Amino acid sequence: MDYSDYSFSAETHAEFFKAESELIRFGEKLTRSPSAKYMRSTLLAIDAVFAIRMSRDVVLPVVPLIAAFDQSEWKYCDVNEHGMREHWLSSRFPENLLEVAVEALHYMQTIKWVATNTRSDTVITMDTILHLHEILLSGKTGDDRYHSFRKSFLPYKKGTDPSLIPSEIMDLCRFINADLFSPVGQATVIHHAFESIVPFDSLIDRTGLALAFMSLFRRGLFTDDYMVPICWGASLEKEYRRKLRDSSRCKPSTEAYLHYRECWAAYNARNTYMSVIIAKSFLSAADRLRLKWRSQSLRIPSNSALDKLLDLFLAIPNLSTIRAAEIIGKSYGATNEAMGQMVKAGIIDEVALDGRERVFVCEQSASMITDFVDNLAKTGDKAEMGNTRNDGVIPKAP
């Protein structure tokens, strides 16, 4: 594939720079937000809800997903997926959503792997792409066989000839490592080229997204490993977006191919810009709840267990004492005492004993997160119903 052939209009380049500037400003906001350090998984879960919505007509409950991801990273980190399903997932999600929840969990694990393993000098290889696909398929406890590229032709011979996929992927990796475009422009070309190659039989879109996001992590635009919920916009106008993706598999010389490639780039740039606006509005909502809690009659010593828990419960509404103590780096006794203070203040409730662990739930932060996601979903539904031009314009955030 000739990547020198990719070119975009001045207007689209302006959209790239606008999105990149907003990502940089978001990074500056994170440094001023005292509760932001606990929000990585929360924002990632919001993104995962809409990553699933791109291919399925369902909005997963976000709070159980946050808790499931935390459990998978901690309590079930050495347990296979089947064990986690039996012990935890099946009791938190309806049976008809269990498989979907697992898909979302795998997506979150993939992005977490990308954030953990990507730095400015990271070299992306064919094995990197195979591994991304493997985590999306099987989760972080997969068999590490790095399942191979597809072996057969696609219908109507679209996509790359199977025998040429390895060389096409190697060309793509060279392009990724060369940093020839601005960061958002580079990510756009990566995803478009990946959709053109179609190297796997499944999960093409999510693998392409993860690879494009890896480039943004590599270029330093996802500050401190924060993933803004880009998949919110990508879940809107699914038919229009599918048309843009499918057009990448047409003959590159056609007028329609060039037109839709430009539309794809502009759509992704606007979507990235709006995802940052959404992330900022979510952190602002969390800050308002934080100020409300701290205006109550609580004595909050700086850097105490209570000080840290008031921020932690904004991000993860369901926690055991032992897990909370591990996250905030305080002793079990100090954490348990602070939990008691928060119960007395009406901020959290003790709901159950999980084995020998005391479990607490914060309904206020759970409602804040759930309402935020529900409003995003409603905004998306309204945009789909009201957009008769089918031009891919992203609506304003709620």
Amino acid symbol at 339: M
DSSP class of residue 248 equals T
Q: Is 172 left (phi over 0), alpha (psi -120 to 50) or beta?
A: alpha
156: which 2 tokens? 């109507």
Rounded Cα distance between 317 and 233, Å, is: 25
Which helix (H) or strand (E) element contains residue 336? Answer: helix 332-344
CB 149 within 8 A of CB 200: yes
First-to-last CA distance in the chain?
A: 40
Rounded Cα distance between 211 and 344, Å, is: 47
pLDDT tens for the chain, 398 residues: list them: 888 889 999 999 999 999 999 999 998 888 888 788 899 999 999 999 999 999 888 999 999 999 999 988 876 665 456 556 656 787 789 889 999 999 999 999 999 999 999 999 999 999 999 999 999 998 876 555 667 899 999 887 789 999 999 999 999 999 999 988 999 999 999 999 999 999 999 999 999 999 999 999 999 999 888 989 999 988 887 888 889 999 998 888 888 899 999 999 999 999 999 999 999 999 999 999 999 999 988 999 999 999 999 999 999 999 999 999 999 999 999 999 999 999 999 999 998 766 667 899 999 999 999 999 999 988 877 766 665 444 444 444 33
CA angle 333, 336, 341 (to 5 degrees): 125
